[in-house]
Amino acid sequence: MKLILEKIKKSQPKRFAKDYKSTLFRSPKKKLLEFIPTNTEMTGPLFDEKIIDKNANDLTLNFSQNGGKALGQEIFVYGIVKDEFGKPQSNVLIEIWQANSGGKYRHQSDNNDVSLDPNFAGCGRFLTSKDGRYHFKTIQPGAYPYPNRGIEWRPMHIHFSLFGRSFAQRLVTQMYFEGDPLISTCPMINSIPDKKSRKLLISKLDFSKTESDKILAYNFDLVLRGINQTYFERN
């Protein structure tokens, strides 16, 4: 067990990665303090279907204005949430957010010189089923430039936030797309030192669920703990 924990620790994203400029300002400068979770943090909150609105997991429609649809290549993202033993995790609240097809977020601090899509908010949510499954319909996000080592480009990606059965069961991560050449140059994903661990963040194109004339499908499973865990976004 000690060797497994040590391997997990070494594979985690670096808190300070010299090629990822913002970690210079956001990474801890002192030793972290450890706190024992309270009973409240270990027992709640619990979510149910009441918080899931109609079309909450269909980002092409959930911000529709007057019946319009979001612009861009439609994609179907699906997968299973599992624990370290491969057991599916039910009733996990998954929230996603992303840029639009032009690489712009619906956020006041996004200064990217790209138009907003009036029919796309870029956020959705879903509760996993009894067998741990989830799915979203959305638009393939665009890459976008950002200031890092000069101007660099972030690969296409979708942000994931997971809430388990308590506040302490929390995962924030990012999903990347198979075949995107920008992945190899991205200092964020490359802050994970282990190549195998980086691959766990890359979704796989699935032609078995792809509708040839409409939509591409990507499979992205999430593992909450253990040696094959999906890595937590630290920065």
Active site residues: 105, 144, 154, 157, 159
H/E stretch holding 226 reads none
Fill in the DSSP letter of residue 61.
T
Phi, psi of 43 (to 5 degrees): -120, -5
Residue with tokens 């000690």: 2
CA-to-CA distance for 196 and 102, rounded, in angstroms? Answer: 30
Angle at 167 between CA 189 and CA 51, to 5 degrees: 95
Burial of 28 (0-12, 13-18, 19+ CB in 10 A): exposed
**Could you tell me how many helices (H) and strands (E) the chain has, helices first?**
4, 11
Residue 198 in contact with residue 189, Cβ under 8 Å? yes
H/E stretch holding 182 reads none
